[in-house]
Structure 1
């Protein structure tokens, strides 16, 4: 190719240079920059550059890249000079790569060029702005550089001549090695930064330097690519300016018409007998359902385990990066990897079960999350590649049935949670001691993985294209992201929709048990319609109905809101085949990588609506669940539009095999619904709760901040909480930080297990659509009425409260459960104290406040809560060691107060108060005089097992107990 052939005869030859020298120059300058800095740094400042924030030599022995190139003179200057010299060859390499790899009609060359240029500028950012100069700017440029490396390596590898297997495989393996090393890089950084392991940073440096060499090495492969490129620098006659001529041999990137027709012929639907296609047999249907169950179990566990870390950090922790596991399908842009998994889908399914479900074997929370992330990567690779494979063999019935089994697997996972009080028994927060069945999950997952059908048994891998485009890739990707998010947010637990509509007592709407079965029925109806009525579920009217259901769910409460939620459930499960059919027609890595990236973004938005006080730019989405819900519905709608163009779904009822599958669907769905009904019946509690000491008319009340049901070691803690609450004989307990009905908390309801196994009534408090961290009430006494409040919070987090009226031994007693806002927002807490004071002063009935006040005793807002105006008194004003939890009361006889250590269940103790109703005509006495325990009637005493060292890490503490009880 001659860029100036018109004037070729008029030019005088000056210089002719082969293109490989550009690649050589780039490699030499880049490596020289890093290696020279390393050599000089080790020679002059070895002990200083191996020193980090925690350790020095000999605990650390190898310097990181940033310490080598940016901390000291003269190595910093040497590096910057050499890396500047790399700029010339770098831009030439980009330009030559664009010309060499350009393909008519493809957008990949332009993407590669643009990402390459931007990547070069971001490289300059982290090179010339070191972490010492500006740590944040350095990190932003570095992260941007790594992110831009993805499209650069993908496009260059994708465009490489397929006939040159040496070059193409070389680039593939270099790119895979580069991104694969990011996993140990993150792990070692956590070991260094979080666990402060000596030597971890040196191993981290090894990996970091390896990434440098792989990064340079990827571009060095251009030596092979540029062998037939030549620069010719020449001067035109009678013209001083020089003209650049570029000559090379262009490769034929197209196949002959006959070859195209041959491949096209092999992709025609119906060429293979549908009833012989692997995946439609009964056993394979069960395998697909189990695989989907494993996928949903692993996926829903990821955000739950991520949540443990920002929860303890009270802000962004860095572990949130594990969410990028969802984007693993981007690796499928590498054809050998894609075709390998297409031919052997058992491999990623097996790794999903082993790493995802098997991660429970790792005790350390960080290690467990890392292993779970690997399992999640393979779970999403499995799902993406199997959908794409079915799209390639063009069997619409098989793809529709696969989509159906995917939804049945979702229903199965939700039923498992229904049976285990909203905890999935194979989550990595479960283990044998708290009711987990993890080992069974691993075994079932492994067996199912090995039996996974191979869909490409009749199609040669060389005949597989990267995707047949029909319509537009972006709408299809948006639909995938919106669908996965919506299913995860709304349908992974049946109590989610119900608690969106929960208003308190008296009950005016559905209850998780038994009405959660209705959610299963709606999901089953949607699944059936999706398989048998493709024209209906892809219609505008179906989308309008689903959107209306979502709107009613958001705007209404009680049964009306729940019915809207059921319509929305039918819609979401019904459109799964449409969305999958659309996505199957495009490059699997691009459509699913982008789709799941969008799912991550909207999942973060789903968190932002409640976590706005702890995240950057939180005010944008503060309390805007309507925006998140609306965007997710619109995303799904865009996917439906793209799905209409795919034209893959068939009418199952008009096909012989389709009719058989329809009957199979009916039977499987029927079995699942019967199972859910049996579970619901078994969970119904037909016995009325009874207080522990009715003979003494005793009311024992407690307040506990339970940290969302995850203990310090990231295990589900409901069982341990149940044991302590029961052994302390609490008749009433307020739970704070209890709203776990969100993606990041696993869509759980902690009150179900506690209430059912302790025999108590439960009020979940303000629902997940009220944007609070939650407060809940459990009571042995009937809850006659409860009102949910959101106290004034103009700046910080919303402060929830429950004002409940109980029937305590025939008399009305009010209980208020309240969680105040965070310490930093002074005005919020002042306004909230006034709001709660009004609630407490609204009645003269006996009352107990179980609260989290964020104030010191006898100071500040304390005097608003404890005042003559509302009549409330502190259970023990001499207890000066409190900061958050307080028990206040009025018009009751106080008989005891205790504080019980938490063990490792949470970060806050459990406070307990004992009260009796006043006798008729008795005047209340608010004296805080203490007496010896021997003078207290036995029925009013605290349980003895928590004295001295206590049991299981729980004991009475703070006071000098021996002075007041007999040993």
Structure 2
């Protein structure tokens, strides 16, 4: 008779530690076996990359080792397949070890473990040669999942095994620490093309593999307390029982992280948190769109238009000073939020004036609703913190959306389906989020039993809040803003746009700092660090300046809760004053560059340092005021029914998701730098100049895609773009060059940054930029004139290009001095040179003879073209073969001018020839002849001109 269930004969029993050892040995065998095989059979091939081979590069990367070559690829795949069994068992045992009732974290970590295992199989068996897209998706997913897996394992590590916890912390710290030099040497290889950098990168890449597998090997110390038993319950086995006795496992005790994540999981509360964060995203999306829609009007008026008054719509919280109105708003805050959606519906309004009014209504209602919510929740510490967390994380989500969409927010009113907008989706989600977020009732007295007058100063609170709002908006609403503050051209010596993930990680770090160390966040040390960050960012360039950016991101986000909580305790007046101070600072930070067009402008000329100093000082005053309101004994708060940790966990889950998305987008956006000119066989450089009017077209729509289409169809290899500095509140903190460079496959130099007080000049090139220097030309009276002087590697020869925007017609002395400066710069260049410029001159008159002639050594691309005033193409030391003028359609107020040049040939003559005499590869596209396409056609001459 066979034994009963559970009473069968024990066939085999072994320690759970063997699962860990099996996983470790087989995983290491996969990588090391492939490495040994590759080094033996294909050494010179696997150490070679796109730039160098042996002996400059002498050690292979992981991807080169386990890639497409037989048999090392097969060696790797066989052992990785063998690893899958122990791997799934390891994840299962870890869950069994750490699971406890009503705790969601063990389930989450187990799910991540399974996900990592599956995605590992994805990038292992689908190589980049098989399908580059899916290989990248699997690889990114695996790397992104590594962060929650590592942190989750550390958080759940049993306290009874301190040795295992210590090893995990050492290996995890080493793993994440290795990422810094790994990224550095990858940039040295990919961007700077430094010989040997890829070999150094390879060593750090292999170190990551060893550390990653080693981290999971530590489970052997935890699994010693497990015994895995195979039991024969039907008596069919003839095997012998084996047994290994292990020690008992101590139960895990609560830790700081577990206090937040250890409680039960509720989908309802998770959805509430997600809705709150999205509601915060809506606020920031509308606020950041206000300046952008206001900017359209002074842009076309070339001065004050009157519509600038709409920026004052944010002071609507002053209305809450009326007790009856305040009570009405708080009781009906859901409907105020619904009214604020006028700002999202604005994209449906075609008339620019009415669209701005719709945005202003939305922003006004949103500021009113959020201020009322903060005030109403002022005694409910956990709920006020949750609302503030959602508001701050909404800024991160807004920045993330812009990071994914090349600095355009897809629900802005300047976006629609044709230029990449997601307005309908964003609006639908906003409606759902508002109904969910506002379903929790709010006490119209804010949960307080009034027993006196609050202490503290509403004026100081308003100064602190205004500076906080301004700092977050001006510096953190786009991940690339502070990167461009420290950008100084080529060679790259600091962060690039794809490194914007570091800004968002720092913002997330600030939120975590604010959650766990609120008392320490609101002190003079934090204000000092904020001041240090402002000083470094304003004074230094490259990585040193960006360190200041990181400090500012952390401190601004961490100081949000104490400043908002202080303002809430002092009443609605603090929020009204806060938004008023914010408006004044917004105007001031526009005045520093627009001084030539505004009353009293010269007083603020080029004084970004004043703005940064005021930001730090005002926040310092707000923090000074926090102590008074925090110790306020005149109001008795009602206790919250839900513990604060319960609120925090869901927001931290959301924060983790946002940061992982940022890492993934950064990986996808890292430049490939494998760009090819349009007509490389003919050694043609097609160069162009275009004033793009801040990428807003005549109808107030974002124009990046239309600009892209014309540049691409005209086959432009090198182009100078003017009026391109959009990294201010009034321009939406955007950067058109990111989209153009990455979509068209071009190197980009943004030119003098936002802290250099110009309207911007940018260079995009299909050819590598060997070196570039930024110039601010003499401007004693009018606006600063920016220039970029760059050296390109064009078909193996060094060719110089200059992009330049001169001063306005009203400032003749500025333009005279600028012409002298630029003529000297061009004369001193020993290389062939092309000038792509905005000169504000008449051909053959005045300063034209400084730019063209003996003083500069430059020639006009077409001296007979008398119908010019602003844009000019000049050249020296290179053959000019063609010239065309292309109409702008409704994109901007200036045409695109394009010239063709032949590298390695002498300048040639001014004799014009017929197109039939020009080789096919040196001709302009026929697409734009006659009526052209989309409103673009060859005009003035009605066809391109060619020269012998």
Question: Which is worse superposed, 448-457 or 318-327?
Answer: 448-457
Q: Which runs of 5+ in 2 are unaligned?
A: 1-262
Could you say what secondary structure the match of 1:372 adopts? helix
1:615 is the counterpart of 2:598: yes
Could you say what secondary structure the match of 2:855 adopts? coil
1:667 is the counterpart of 2:649: no
1:942 is the counterpart of 2:929: no
Report matched runs for 1:655-694 at 5 Å.
657-686=643-672, 688-694=674-680
Distance 1:433 1:577, change over 3 A: same
Is the 1:903–1:954 Cα contact (8 Å) retained in structure 2? yes
Is the 2:398–2:409 Cα contact (8 Å) retained in structure 1? yes
Give the whole-Å Cα distance in 1 for the aligned partners of 2:885 and 2:809. 23
Indicate the residue corresponding to 1:54 in structure 2: none
Indicate the residue corresponding to 1:932 in structure 2: 914
Question: Which is worse superposed, 955-964 or 445-454?
Answer: 955-964
Is the 2:377–2:442 Cα contact (8 Å) retained in structure 1? no
1:505 is the counterpart of 2:493: no
Give the whole-Å Cα distance in 2 for the aligned partners of 1:716 and 1:439. 17
Is the 1:410–1:492 Cα contact (8 Å) retained in structure 2? yes
Indicate the residue corresponding to 2:575 in structure 1: 592
Distance 1:664 1:463, change over 3 A: closer
Q: Which runs of 5+ in 1 are unaligned?
A: 1-274
Could you say what secondary structure the match of 2:885 adopts? strand
Given candidates 409, 412, 424, the residue that maps to 1:424 is 409
Q: CA deviation at 1:457?
A: 4.8
Deviations 1:808-855 (A, max 9, x none): 000000000000000111110000001111110111210000000011
Is the 1:345–1:452 Cα contact (8 Å) retained in structure 2? no
Indicate the residue corresponding to 2:720 in structure 1: 734
Over aligned residues, Cα RMSD in angstroms? 2.3
Give the whole-Å Cα distance in 1 for the aligned partners of 2:594 and 2:475. 19
Deviations 1:278-327 (A, max 9, x none): 99933222121111100000000000110000000000000001111111
Give the whole-Å Cα distance in 1 for the aligned partners of 2:339 and 2:267. 20
Given candidates 837, 840, 849, the residue that maps to 1:854 is 840
Normalising by structure 2, report the TM-score.
0.69
Give the whole-Å Cα distance in 2 for the aligned partners of 1:480 and 1:806. 47
Indicate the residue corresponding to 1:3 in structure 2: none
1:576 is the counterpart of 2:560: yes
Could you say what secondary structure the match of 1:818 adopts? strand
Give the whole-Å Cα distance in 2 for the aligned partners of 1:659 and 1:310. 49
Q: CA deviation at 1:425?
A: 0.1
Deviations 1:553-583 (A, max 9, x none): 1110000000111011101000000111111
Q: CA deviation at 1:964?
A: 8.2
Is the 1:467–1:585 Cα contact (8 Å) retained in structure 2? no
Q: CA deviation at 1:932?
A: 1.3
Deviations 1:492-550 (A, max 9, x none): 0000010000000000000011x111101100010111121111111111110111111
Give the whole-Å Cα distance in 2 for the aligned partners of 1:459 and 1:961. 70
Report matched runs for 1:675-824 at 5 Å.
675-686=661-672, 688-824=674-810
Indicate the residue corresponding to 1:521 in structure 2: 505
Indicate the residue corresponding to 2:331 in structure 1: 343
Pairs aligned (count): 678
1:407 is the counterpart of 2:381: no
Deviations 1:853-911 (A, max 9, x none): 01100000001101123210000011000000000000111110000000000000000
Give the whole-Å Cα distance in 1 for the aligned partners of 2:672 and 2:540. 30
Is the 2:376–2:444 Cα contact (8 Å) retained in structure 1? no
Q: CA deviation at 1:963?
A: 9.7
Indicate the residue corresponding to 1:495 in structure 2: 480
Is the 1:342–1:454 Cα contact (8 Å) retained in structure 2? no
Indicate the residue corresponding to 2:360 in structure 1: 373
Indicate the residue corresponding to 1:88 in structure 2: none
Distance 1:767 1:687, change over 3 A: closer
Given candidates 369, 376, 381, the residue that maps to 1:382 is 369
Is the 1:279–1:455 Cα contact (8 Å) retained in structure 2? no
Is the 2:376–2:447 Cα contact (8 Å) retained in structure 1? no
Give the whole-Å Cα distance in 2 for the aligned partners of 1:957 and 1:468. 72
Give the whole-Å Cα distance in 2 for the aligned partners of 1:329 and 1:467. 23
Q: CA deviation at 1:616?
A: 0.4
Indicate the residue corresponding to 1:956 in structure 2: 938
Give the whole-Å Cα distance in 2 for the aligned partners of 1:911 and 1:964. 14
Could you say what secondary structure the match of 1:505 adopts? coil
Normalising by structure 1, report the TM-score.
0.68
Q: CA deviation at 1:337?
A: 2.5
Deviations 1:763-817 (A, max 9, x none): 0000000000000000000000000000000100000000000000000000000
Indicate the residue corresponding to 1:298 in structure 2: 286
Give the whole-Å Cα distance in 1 for the aligned partners of 2:946 and 2:769. 35
Report matched runs for 1:216-227 at 5 Å.
none
Is the 1:293–1:410 Cα contact (8 Å) retained in structure 2? yes
Is the 2:720–2:764 Cα contact (8 Å) retained in structure 1? yes
Indicate the residue corresponding to 2:866 in structure 1: 880
Distance 1:484 1:648, change over 3 A: farther
Indicate the residue corresponding to 1:78 in structure 2: none
Could you say what secondary structure the match of 2:592 adopts? helix
Give the whole-Å Cα distance in 2 for the aligned partners of 1:307 and 1:522. 30
Indicate the residue corresponding to 2:464 in structure 1: 479
1:567 is the counterpart of 2:561: no
Give the whole-Å Cα distance in 2 for the aligned partners of 1:681 and 1:404. 27
Distance 1:885 1:802, change over 3 A: same
Q: CA deviation at 1:669?
A: 1.7
Q: CA deviation at 1:586?
A: 2.5
Indicate the residue corresponding to 2:31 in structure 1: none
Deviations 1:190-246 (A, max 9, x none): xxxxxxxxxxxxxxxxxxxxxxxxxxxxxxxxxxxxxxxxxxxxxxxxxxxxxxxxx
Indicate the residue corresponding to 2:50 in structure 1: none
Deviations 1:620-643 (A, max 9, x none): 110000001111111111111122
Give the whole-Å Cα distance in 2 for the aligned partners of 1:799 and 1:467. 58
Q: CA deviation at 1:615?
A: 0.4
Is the 2:883–2:944 Cα contact (8 Å) retained in structure 1? no
Give the whole-Å Cα distance in 2 for the aligned partners of 1:467 and 1:600. 32
Distance 1:458 1:378, change over 3 A: closer
Distance 1:454 1:386, change over 3 A: farther
Give the whole-Å Cα distance in 1 for the aligned partners of 2:698 and 2:360. 20
Q: CA deviation at 1:664?
A: 3.1
Is the 2:273–2:650 Cα contact (8 Å) retained in structure 1? no
Distance 1:523 1:648, change over 3 A: farther
Give the whole-Å Cα distance in 2 for the aligned partners of 1:889 and 1:586. 65
Distance 1:587 1:489, change over 3 A: same
Is the 2:881–2:946 Cα contact (8 Å) retained in structure 1? no
Could you say what secondary structure the match of 1:585 adopts? helix
Is the 2:386–2:648 Cα contact (8 Å) retained in structure 1? no
